[in-house]
């Protein structure tokens, strides 16, 4: 083959395939978060996990904060926001699906629950989820302004309850079954002096189940009852 033909073949030959993408980087960050905690999630740590130089990541993310914001948005986005728009199902059923889905996903990655409290929820997936939630609450009978306020209250309840539950888990280990966690909490409350904490001792079984699905559903129903009660919604509208 002549030199001109060799040069032409070289120009046609594809270069090395890119091994990085936003998805690959975020997946590596999530692995580090699960295995070693939030402190391990740094540009240098992610690069080491992927076997590349740290500079290779700056093509996709300017800093660690940007990685974490995208990670939070991806975890939220794993829930199909379109399900909230399914008007063929009762609106409360759809809220419960959203809440329980987020709870299951974040408790599978306990370290991510803390990130949600420290990162703004302003990514595209979070914004879409908020949009669907506002529309659902308007469907439930709230006017547009109250629906936006109610959406915030719901998200605060859902994420706050999840964060408190995740705080009792070891981020580097799979979460024990819920029944085991409740039993361990119950044993701890049983050791408290009943004469000093009489009401806590009397309510120990209920308090131990604070981290359970039943309590999570109970609280969610009470929040929804309050937000959609005609008098409550009316007072909220006049106050604002």
What's the pLDDT at 59?
92
For the packed helices 144-166 and 91-107, what is the interaxial angle rounded to 10 degrees? 30
What's the pLDDT at 17?
41
User: pLDDT tens-digit profile of 100-149?
Assistant: 988 988 888 888 877 777 777 888 888 998 999 999 999 999 999 999 99
**What is the dotted CATH code of the domain comprising 1-62?**
1.10.10.60
Architecture in CATH of 80-239: Orthogonal Bundle (1.10)
Give dist(CA 219, CA 221) in Å, integer. 5
What's the pLDDT at 80?
65
What's the pLDDT at 11?
44
| C-alpha dist (Å) from residue 103 to 18, 23, 87, 149 | 35, 22, 23, 22
**Residues 98, 105: contact at Cβ < 8 Å?**
no
Q: Where are the domains of the chain?
A: 1-62, 80-239
pLDDT in tens, the chain (240 residues): 555 555 444 444 443 444 799 999 999 999 998 888 878 889 999 999 999 999 999 999 999 889 988 998 888 876 667 778 888 899 999 999 999 988 988 888 888 877 777 777 888 888 998 999 999 999 999 999 999 999 999 999 999 999 899 888 887 777 889 999 999 999 999 999 999 999 999 999 999 999 999 999 999 999 999 999 876 654 444 444
Whether 1-62 and 80-239 share one fold: the answer is: no
User: pLDDT tens-digit profile of 13-32?
Assistant: 443 444 799 999 999 999 99
Q: Within 13 Å of residue 60, how many CA atoms lie on the same side as its CB?
A: 20
Secondary structure letter of residue 192 according to DSSP: S
């Amino acid at each position: 083959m002549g030199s001109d033909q060799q040069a032409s073949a070289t120009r046609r030959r594809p270069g090395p395939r890119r091994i990085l993408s936003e998805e690959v980087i975020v997946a590596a960050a999530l692995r580090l978060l699960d295995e070693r905690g939030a402190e391990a999630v740094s540009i240098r740590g992610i690069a080491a996990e992927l076997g590349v130089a740290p500079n290779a990541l700056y093509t996709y993310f300017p800093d660690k904060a940007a990685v974490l914001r995208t990670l939070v948005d991806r975890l939220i986005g794993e829930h199909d926001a379109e399900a909230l728009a399914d008007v063929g199902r009762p609106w409360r059923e759809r809220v419960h699906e959203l809440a329980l889905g987020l709870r299951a996903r974040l408790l599978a990655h306990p370290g991510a629950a803390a990130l949600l409290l420290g990162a703004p929820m302003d990514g595209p997936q979070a914004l879409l989820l908020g949009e669907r939630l506002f529309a659902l609450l308007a469907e439930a009978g709230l006017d547009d302004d109250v629906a936006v306020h109610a959406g915030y209250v719901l998200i605060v309840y859902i994420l706050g309850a999840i964060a408190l539950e995740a705080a009792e888990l070891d981020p580097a280990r799979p979460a024990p079954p819920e029944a085991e966690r409740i039993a361990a909490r119950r044993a701890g409350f049983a050791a408290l002096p009943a004469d000093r904490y009489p009401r806590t001792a009397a309510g120990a079984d209920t308090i131990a189940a604070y981290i359970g699905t039943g309590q999570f559903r109970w609280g969610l129903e009470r929040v929804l009852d309050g937000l959609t009660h005609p008098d409550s919604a009316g007072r909220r509208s006049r106050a604002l």
